[in-house]
Amino acid sequence: MANTDYAYRRLVNTLWPERVSRTEFDRMVYSHDFASLPKVALLQWRLYPDFVVLPQTTEEVASLVKLSDESGLPIVPRGGGTGWYGGAVPVRGGVLIDMRKMSHVRSFDPATRTITVEAGMTWQDVAEYAEARGLTLPSLPTNAMASTVGGGINSDVVGYGSLRNGGLRQVVADLEVVLPDARVLHTAFAGDAGGAYADLTPFFFGAEGTLGVITAATLRLIAKPDLVKPLAYAFKDTPAAATFLGAMVDAGFQPYHAALLDREHFVFERALRAGSPEPADMVLVTLAGAKDDVADQEKALDALAPKLAAAKRPPQEAEDLWAHRFMMYSARRLSRGLVVANNVVPLSRLGEACRLSRELIRKMKLNGAVHAFPMDTASAILAPYVLMDDTTPSGGTALGYVKKLGDAAFELGGHPMGLGLFMVFNLRRMHGRAAPYTAYVKSVFDPGKKINPGKTIEVWTKYQFPGLRAIPPPAMRVGLDVAAALRRIKPTPDKFVRAYERGKEAD
Ligand SMILES: Cc1cc2nc3c(=O)[nH]c(=O)nc-3n(C[C@H](O)[C@H](O)[C@H](O)COP(=O)(O)OP(=O)(O)OC[C@H]3O[C@@H](n4cnc5c(N)ncnc54)[C@H](O)[C@@H]3O)c2cc1C
């Protein structure tokens, strides 16, 4: 490896000093993503990058990738840094590429209903650009405000619109990717927005930054609906709310989005924001389309709701919930960290899954809330979150919840979503005999293990000595089982809400 001063000079020559940083502060900021990582993690991984760089063009990204051959430093691509399982943090330092300066629209073509954007643009910005011109994205991540185009594709996210229009896989027509050998690949044929010809795009969905750096994407658009109308219904408990979601899909409703938020979510919201809705197990249904069609659907839903003892909430409350849809995790302010357990479960078993999520929260003496939504007519995303204080050594044990709920998802016929750094042990269970081919694909694209190495298929440590280089995935699994067991024997439950209320009184 070349010395770091020399590597720094080479980076500065490529990008200019203002877009290369090695300050302690910047390196610290980029040493974590949304995932709450206990400090003890620094014993295992060199989470601080050596350099943070902000390219503005595809050519600059290609030059950075070439430089890594010279310096021997690994490359970690990063978008909004909002991933849940440490996918965008280094394990052995290296060069962290923050893509957010590549955030422009390259072209917009109403005739083919496509838009080509740089990968650092957020999904919300893409949607707003298209909507100002009468079109919109068929679906976008639930975290569209901060999630970038490159980050969303690499995380294979589903979100708003996917129940009706399919997920991001249906949205992406072509990707521009800088491969680990610095060549620029287009994954699909440019004139083929319908995707009928040979298409390498699927390799990059859920690749978690391990196959190349996405620099641009061509996305399909649809006509913007005349009206978007949110409706809110309150239920007697969470399973009843889950049953409503299933009944709604079975009855042939095709809302733009429908989500369940349990009572605890609103308890947290109330502690933080006085005007937030009265706590209850709620379903938020968002209709979109022509005015008459939306009115007909609302009437039919209002007729279905009483059959499940649901009470409709005032329109203003539904509008408020929809307006706050990107602020799902305000509760993080009540503790000092938060972790999300992201899973797919059969829609028909969502009620059971919600009940299990709550039971685990109680048994593990955590504070947490359940969030779930149908992603298509057969499956639902189950993504409860729990609060944790990651400044204390015991805080990290809350990560055991993600492991245990993932096990429950497998038993229900679903699976966890997202591997990153902590959940690599799930790969084999998720993909069975196909799992080794994931490693094979990585070796074809990135034989030198330059791009985001030591994640998704193996877990590298910061150490280079034989025997210590990697943590066997089963050991990570056992570690998280131990964390879950420690939570269970903890004598007292977490009480973040009350602690927060007491703090407010003391101020
Ligand atoms: C409020 C909220 C809601 C969320 N909802 C969901 C959800 O519904 N479903 C879900 O799956 N996740 C969800 N997440 C997690 C996360 O936001 C998504 O995975 C998100 O799409 C990640 O985008 P990002 O730009 O922040 O990516 P990052 O976190 O920066 O990166 C994610 C991964 O992609 C790689 N990457 C980033 N950019 C590039 C690029 N240009 N080229 C190559 N690799 C790249 C990184 O190396 C990393 O492995 C949510 C998070 C929050 C905070």
Provide the Cα torsion 337, 339, 340, 341; round to 10°.
-160
The Å distance, Cα 501 to ligand 1 centre, comes to 32
Listing DSSP states for 48-59 in one string gives S-SEEE---SHH
Listing DSSP states for 66-89 in one string gives HHHHHH---EEEESSS--SSSTTS
pLDDT by residue, tens only, the chain of 507 residues: 558 899 999 999 999 899 999 999 999 999 988 876 777 788 899 999 999 999 999 999 999 999 999 999 999 999 999 998 999 999 999 999 999 999 999 999 999 999 999 999 999 999 999 999 999 999 999 999 999 999 999 999 999 999 999 999 999 999 999 999 999 999 987 665 555 567 899 999 999 999 999 999 999 999 999 999 999 999 999 999 999 999 999 999 999 999 999 999 999 999 998 888 999 999 999 999 999 999 999 999 999 999 989 999 999 999 999 999 998 999 999 988 899 999 999 999 999 999 999 999 999 999 999 999 999 999 999 999 999 887 777 778 889 999 999 999 999 999 999 898 888 999 988 888 888 899 999 999 999 999 999 999 899 999 988 889 999 989 989 999 999 999 999 888 888 777 776 766 666
Other C-beta atoms within 10 Å of 500: how many? 17
Q: Are 370 and 354 in contact (CB under 8 A)?
A: yes
What pLDDT, on a 0 to 100 scale, did the predictor assign at position 296? 96
| Fold exhibited by the domain 4-100 | 3.30.43
What pLDDT, on a 0 to 100 scale, did the predictor assign at position 1? 53
Closest atom of ligand 1 to CA, residue 84: 15
Other C-beta atoms within 10 Å of 284: how many? 21
Question: Which of 37, 78, 99, 455 most suits a substitution to test ligand 1, by most atoms within 8 Å of the C-beta?
Answer: 78
Q: Is 102-223 assigned to CATH 3.40.50.2000?
A: no
| Fold exhibited by the domain 227-415 | Vanillyl-alcohol Oxidase; Chain A, domain 3 (3.40.462)
* Any ligand 1 atom below 6 A from CB of 204: no
What pLDDT, on a 0 to 100 scale, did the predictor assign at position 229? 98
Question: Which of 61, 102, 122, 143 most suits a substitution to test ligand 1, by most atoms within 8 Å of the C-beta?
Answer: 143
Question: Which of 157, 269, 415, 422 most suits a substitution to test ligand 1, by most atoms within 8 Å of the C-beta?
Answer: 157
Q: Are 102 and 215 in contact (CB under 8 A)?
A: yes
Give me the amino acid identity at 123.
W
Domain residue ranges in the chain: 4-100, 102-223, 227-415, 424-486
pTM of full prediction above 0.75: yes
